Each structure stands twice: as structure tokens, then as C-alpha cells.
Amino acid sequence: MEEAHRELLQRNRLRLVRELQVEPLWELILARELFTRDMIEDIQRAGTRRDQARQLVTDLQTRGRRALPIFISCLEDTGQQALATLLRESNSTQQLDPIDIKPIEIVRSGEPSSTYVKLPMKPLVPVSQTSKKEDPGASCLGVAQGAVAPTQTRYGRNPGMVGQVYALNSDPCGYCLIINNVDFHASSGLSVRAGSNIDCEKMQKRFQALHFAVEVEWNLSAKAMGAALQQLAERDHSALDCCVVVILSHGCQASHIQFPGAIYGTDGASISVERIVNIFSGSQCPTLGGKPKLFFIQACGGDQRDHGFQVSSAPEDKSPSSDPETDATPFQNNFDQTDAVASLPTPSDILVSYSTFPGFVSWRDTKSGSWYIETLDRVLEEWAANEDLLSILLMVSNAVSAKGTYKQIPGCFNFLRKRFFFKTK
């Protein structure tokens, strides 16, 4: 498909996913050789109508240069005139090539129209009757500089995964605690985290928009951080469906069993990520049992600086006004040993998203905030209504990896059992 046609589909992706009726399209797109039978059955395994529409739009971008006009003709012939008109009128910079579509007979409950020429066509097999096929996993489309592209969401293609989505029925969905450490004691040797207040404000507004009850704690010592997290875990979450913790602070590399890294309090003492997560484990916080617990951590994982490696078309942000700082200090090995040996009794329904790879620094702009939080906020704004959390985090990783002279790539430790979609309405 031509790049202009791909961009057109991306611009109209949200409406297509929301309104596209996929069921009437299968016979037409097979007869007009837009997709093969196996490809159609693969798309049908995506799950709900919305999931199938999302996957159809994604896979359509991999087809030939005539894919878009053929797709528009299929929309017109199935009565989806509004979407067909939207795609035609949106394509103002390039005229769609005319196509010669041979009419086909679509046999439905009534008599077929005599104006159609009948094409032999093997009936499509319902999803429930298809054999299970292995899926290679999820992949991500390339991201141009400063841009955020959707992922090829493939988590729902396995028929056994259909319907396995965390339910967010309560309003608010749950508590969101943000810990924002900006000013550190002089004795700690840690610098002021200029720009962190921008991150904090973005996260506060974003999670409020996603139907969370947001609370912010400022400039906490390591002990106070542990106490605030413990108080949150001890609350009654029975009527809620989720819990989110966002931590903005300096960090360091630390010995670990499950989750790497440690977070500094304003006093220069640290609390390990492992200990933080354990506070919300099934045995410690039973009212969150079986419910997703999400942790977003903007802090360094060490003091290594990644210069990256050259590729032929790597985008690079060389803004002369950018003067980023790190949230790093050297490796520490003198923390409380209970942090190092803490275990996770039931490591399920947990996701920890790190701003950077373990052992490496995490960059923060003093004027616009950290690369990770800025990108996370932007991607959530654009895609939270349509993409699951893992797909969103892939977009964040891809976009952040394209920034700066020094390099940074976020990642996550995922122990969720189901797909997670934020509540946006």
C-alpha cells in the first residue's frame, strides 16, 4: 500500500474501529482478492467486532497499492456509505485510482439480485469451527521521529483469549497514588528533580480522565514512601477494579529476585521496587486479589548512559534547546537486606512499567518533563480508548527509543493474566 493511503487509514483509524461492520465484508474482500481465506479467518480470531475491525485496518496496510480503493468499494457495496465517503474525501492530496470491480452475487436470506455475476465461493468457516493456530506474537509498526503509531494488536487472535479482558465496571475504577519526589535533602547528595512537577501534573490529569481517584504525595523519605504505599494497600478495594501507583524520583540499580531497581526517598535512603510490589501482593492486599495492579516508575535503573548503535534510518532528536538530566546515582548495595530477599507469594495481575532498561539512566528535560512520562501521557491520550495496555507500552518504548543523542528504552515486567483496557467513557 502506498504511504499516503496508510496515513489516510491512520488518520481515520479511530472512527473505522468504532463504526466498521466487518461481518458483511468477508465475502466481498475474499472475492475481490483483498485477503485470502486464511487471512480472513485469522482476523476473525481477533475477538469482538471492534477487535476484528482494528485488526482489519492494521492488516489492510500490508496489502497492495490497490487495496484502499478496493476496500472503499467493498464498503459502498455493503451499505457503509458514510465510511466510504469519509475515506474518499479524506484523501485530498492523492486521487484514488479507479478500479474495475466485477460484481458478485452475495447470497443472503432472500433471492440474489439478477444484476450480479455469480462467483463460486467456499463459505467462510465460523471462528468457533476453525482449528487453533499458533500466533507468532505481537509486533509494532515503525515510528517516525516524534510520531506515535499503533501496534499490530495480536493478543486476542488466539480463540482461547477471546473475552479474557479485565472488567472495569466501577467508577472510579480504583485509586491512583502518585509519589512525586522533587527536593532531596542536602545530605543525600541527590539533585533537585526539575521538571518532575510537569510529569506529576500530566499523570494526575491523565488518570483522572481515565476514571481513577488520584492522590498525590510530595517529597517523601524512603520510610514515608513505604508507609504511604502500605496505607493504600490496607484500604478496602472490594468495590474497585484496579489500582495504579506512579513513582517519580531518583533511582538506582539494586540486587533483586523478581523486580530490579530501587527508588530513592528524599532522605537518600532507598526502597526496592520488589518491596513496593510485594506490599500489594495477594496475601498482603486481599481486596485487590485477581485485580490488575499497575506500577509506572520514572526513575533511573543505574548510571550507565546508552549511546545507542547506528542503523541506516534511525530517527534522532537533536533539539539544541534540550538539556536533559538523569535520575541516576551509582549502584548501591547497602540497603535493607529484607528488600533483596522479599518474595512475591502470588505474582499475578501485576505490571511494572519502567522508564528505562535496568542499569541505565532515565532522561528528564527540566522544562518539559521526562521523556517517558511525556510520551506515556501522549500515547494514552491518543490510544487509551482503542488499544490495550501492552500495545500502548510498545508504542511508548518505540517512541522514546527514537529520542535524544543519548538513548533510552522503557520496558515492563508483565504478570497480567488478561488484556487490560483503560476506561475512557
Active site positions, annotated: 250, 300
Angle between helices 67-77 and 81-90 (to 10 degrees): 150
Task: Give the Cα separation of 153 and 136 in Å (integer).
Answer: 12
Residue 402 backbone phi and psi in degrees, to 5: -90, 0
Backbone angles phi, psi at 150, to 5 degrees: -75, 160
Of 361, 367, 366, give the one whose Cα is nearest residue 400: 361
Question: What's the 3-state SS for the chain?
Answer: CCHHHHHHHHHCHHHHHHHCCCHHHHHHHHHCCCCCHHHHHHHHCCCCHHHHHHHHHHHHCCCCCCHHHHHHHHHHHCCCHHHHHHHHHHCCCCCCCCCCCCCCCCCCCCCCCCCCCCCCCCCCCCHHHCCCCCCCCCEECCCCCCCCCCEECCCCCCHHHCCCECCCCCCCCEEEEEEECCCCCHHHCCCCCCCHHHHHHHHHHHHHHCCEEEEEEECCCHHHHHHHHHHHHHCCCCCCCEEEEEEECCEECCCCCCCCCEEECCCCCEEEHHHHHHCCCCCCCHHHCCCCEEEEEECCCCCECECCCCCCCCCCCCCCCCCEEECECCCCCCCCHHHHHCCCCCCCCEEEEECCCCCECCEEECCCEEHHHHHHHHHHHHHCCCCCHHHHHHHHHHHHCCCCCCECCCEEEEECCCECCCCCC
Count CB neighbours of 401 within 10 A: 19
